[in-house]
Chain A
Amino acid sequence: MMRNLFSLNKIYIFSEKTLTFIKSVFPVLLILGLTFALVLSPPDYLQGDVVRIMYVHVPSAWIALGTFSTLTVLSIINFIFKIKILEIVNLCIAPIGLLFTCLAIITGSIWAEPTWGTWWAWDARLTSMIVLMFFYVMIIYSQKHIKPKNRSLMFTSIISIIGAINIPIIKYSVEWWNTLHQPASIKITGETSIHSSMLMPLMLMLLILLLYSALIFLMKYKTEIIKVKRSGVKRL
């Protein structure tokens, strides 16, 4: 039963179906989300229209952190139980994480110029975000260029486990130390300090960016499966 569930053909067909579904809803949602974020939502009482950058910045940062956590968990499971399919998943999600980390950093510094008065500051939050970017770069490098397969796997696992320590540091940097970056507005427990008319487009944009990452992931995943099939391996 397990082998059946993980058989490459089934996964391929499943991802094909999901892709078609995402492709059909994505353009509609994108137009809807962007209209809400850029036109319909109100400007901020202090920042004015600059606040609209937040609708891209915050979800990208969340996805960047979430992707790294996933990467670490999958690496640990793979290290212990040696499930080969997780390697391919890791191979596909690392570039997505890098993309969203860069997006968060770039949009953040565009936002910072008019509000803080500087493009960049070496405070705890911003620095740990740069460190996250370097971890992604290292992981992608070791996946692609370190040659014997098991060695590359070992390096990737070690880097992702070391990098996992950075995740709580990013999350709590704004609470543990004085930073220029403001504390989190949306808390898991407690009150949210974003007005509901701004929270709705934010969540919509999160959904859209998640769908977008699923789209890239599935496309890359399909190619990787085809590569495995070509190389003549019957089962992973």
Chain B
Amino acid sequence: MLTFKVKRRIIYLGIFCFTLFLCFFYVIKTLNQSLLYFKTPSEIFDDQNLDLSKEIRLGGMVKKNSIKVNKREIQFIITDLKKEILVSYKGTVPNLFLEEKGVIAEGKLKDKKFFIANRVLAKHDENYKPPSENQLDKK
């Protein structure tokens, strides 16, 4: 039913797609670590050969009642519910920087417990709802 030419084209295409898929699979697999935008506190804790001089991004949730603001800086704790890291930051925070919401801090680690940030980004979650709905949830 299919002519010889059509069959040949299908085979060519199959081989092409297969090689392409393999190539990309290995590229992505190799890049896997560097594709992460941020590290969680647990990942930092588990990392044996951590380079403290390198600038990294730390991400997680702002712990409840942990935000302390004084004249010089703002301090808060980033947690992934297993491990915690104290973050110190000088500067303004985005509007969505709130307790129990996602946050990403850019900066350097002092040690595995203390992080000095030079930029703070808020990470928004996938929930969208009107204000009235939120109050119902809290009750």
- Report A28-83 residues with CB < 8 Å from chain B CB: 42-47, 51, 54, 76, 79-81
Interface size on B, residues (CB 8 A): 42
Which residue on B lies nearest to A173, using beta carbons?
Answer: B35
Q: With A80-B9, A185-B128 given, can you name 7 additional A-B contacts, CB distance below 8 Å?
A: A76-B13, A117-B121, A124-B35, A177-B35, A178-B40, A180-B121, A195-B128
Contact A45 B20, beta carbon cutoff 8 Å: no
CB distance from B28 to the nearest CB of A (A): 7
Q: Does A223 contact B (CB under 8 A)?
A: no
CB distance from B23 to the nearest CB of A (A): 9
What residues of A have a CB within 8 angstroms of the CB of B133 in the complex? 45, 195
Interface residues of A (CB under 8 A from B): 42-47, 51, 54, 76, 79-81, 114-118, 121-124, 161-162, 165, 169, 176-180, 182-185, 193-195, 197-198
Q: Does B120 contact A (CB under 8 A)?
A: yes
Q: Does B81 contact A (CB under 8 A)?
A: no
What residues of B have a CB within 8 angstroms of the CB of A194 in the complex? 127-129
Would you mind naming 14 contact pairs between A and B with Cβ atoms under 8 Å apart? A42-B131, A44-B130, A44-B131, A114-B94, A115-B122, A117-B119, A117-B120, A123-B37, A124-B37, A165-B21, A177-B36, A178-B37, A185-B126, A195-B129
Contact A45 B9, beta carbon cutoff 8 Å: no
What residues of A have a CB within 8 angstroms of the CB of B40 in the complex? 178
Report Cα–Cα, A114/B92, bound state, in Å: 12
The total number of A-B Cβ pairs within 8 Å is 109
Contact A44 to B122, CB < 8 A, known contacts A179-B37, A180-B104: no
Contact B123 A116, beta carbon cutoff 8 Å: yes
Question: Which one, B10, B21, B98, B128, contacts A44 given CB within 8 A?
Answer: B128
Q: Does B6 contact A (CB under 8 A)?
A: yes
What residues of B have a CB within 8 angstroms of the CB of A193 in the complex? 126-128
Contact A47 to B130, CB < 8 A, known contacts A161-B17, A165-B21, A179-B37: no
Contact B122 A80, beta carbon cutoff 8 Å: no
